[in-house]
Structure 1
């Protein structure tokens, strides 16, 4: 199945308000760093938390893009307007794009 994908370079900086971000990483990864304003639903919880997926256009992210590709494919089948972030938060961070942390320290991708 074709997975709609976007690269960091294709995304406006800052992200447009109408583009929601869904982070499907595990809680410990989220704690260390995530895109501000993103919604956190770990991949394994996604089927049971479909109501938590934002409406409208959604960018799905994980660490390198593999889990988010699975989530994007599944969400597209459910009728959502989604795109996978190619290279994930590793590429996002490498491009110098902003992240926030719940750990009290600097945001990082783990």
Structure 2
């Protein structure tokens, strides 16, 4: 069994033009997300893996969820598929706390 650490990155080190994969559920996505992120709920990742790898090309995939647990699982899966993927530590909660740009489908004062 492979016990290699899951690659991760601090939210402040995610480049502004990074390919961000958001694996949260639709209600979480609607409440607040990073502009330009690809939304693939965790339950759909395996079935949509080709879409993710095609969109990523040779770029690193920055995987995010609410706090980092689900995205760590997806990162582990993607790395096993040969994708250059890293987990965003602290997820969207850290993203918002760091003041990174966000958008949502609800009142902007209540994003996330």
TM-score (norm 2): 0.87
In structure 2, the partner of 1:42 is 41
Match of 1:62 among 58, 62, 65: 65
How far off its partner does 1:6 sit?
0.2
Question: 2: distance between equivalents of 1:49 and 1:9?
Answer: 28
Matched residues, number: 104
Question: 1: distance between equivalents of 2:49 and 2:11?
Answer: 25
Q: Deviations over 1:55-108 (max 9, x none)?
A: 2211000000000000000000011111100000101101111100123x2162
Tell me which stretches of 4 or more aligned residues in structure 1 moved more than 3 Å. Answer: none
The runs of 5 or more residues in structure 2 that have no matched partner are none
3-state SS in 1 of match to 2:44: helix
TM-score (norm 1): 0.88
3-state SS in 2 of match to 1:67: helix
- The answer on whether the counterparts of 2:23 and 2:70 sit within 8 Å (CA) in structure 1 is yes
Matched, 1:26 2:25: yes
In structure 2, the partner of 1:97 is 100
3-state SS in 1 of match to 2:85: strand
Matched, 1:76 2:79: yes
- The answer on whether the counterparts of 2:14 and 2:62 sit within 8 Å (CA) in structure 1 is no
The runs of 5 or more residues in structure 1 that have no matched partner are none
